[in-house]
Amino acid sequence: MSTNTNRVNNPMKVITGPDTRWSYANVWEPKSINGGTPKYSVSLIIPKSDTRTVAKIKAAIEAAYQEGQAKLKGNGRSVPPLSAIKTPLRDGDVERPDDPAYANAYFINANSATAPGIVDADRNPVLTRSEVYSGVYGRASINLYAFNSNGNKGIACGLNNLQLIRPGEPLGGKASAEADFATDDDEDFLG
């Protein structure tokens, strides 16, 4: 029997497309941001041409907004409109205009208190940490949910699992060892 028939459709869960690029990949060890609780996190760079993934994320944001209205209302008299609260899908051309990795793309930051499962394209566990770095391409399982914390209201993105699809040029400006030693040219050796 297929397991697909037993799956409950969660409108707030999204699996991104295979051309999603991972940046700021802190997926092996949780990292504290500004002294906060350590979390696993990744910035998912989604090409604007991947209209299917973008549409699924926008629909999941809307579903999280609808589902989380009581939380978003909090002690206030009304639920703030979706346009007035923080949402996680951001435009790389607007927010990161000087970073070519974010050109013509959206991005969404996903995090979790628990480690994500990481598998390869054949769904085998990835055990070699060096295979997963900022710049690889893969799919991500994320869930969107409403939050209301310390006066901040919005929709956040949780990280479930990751599927590594293919390597990519490392992000962060550091050349790979393969690129540095691609030629036998040693003119700088004693220069």
Residues 140-153: pLDDT tens digits?
Answer: 999 999 999 888 89
Written as six digits, the tokens of 72 are: 């978003």
Written as six digits, the tokens of 153 are: 């209201």
Helix H or strand E segment including 107: strand 105-112
pLDDT tens digits, 41-99: 999 999 999 999 999 999 999 999 999 999 998 888 899 999 999 999 999 999 999 99
Angle 158-47-143 (CA atoms, 0-180°, nearest 5)? 15
**What average pLDDT does the chain have?**
90
- Per-residue pLDDT at 1: 44
- Per-residue pLDDT at 187: 53
- Per-residue pLDDT at 139: 98
State percent of the chain over pLDDT 90.
77
Taking the model in full, what pTM does it have? Answer: 0.86
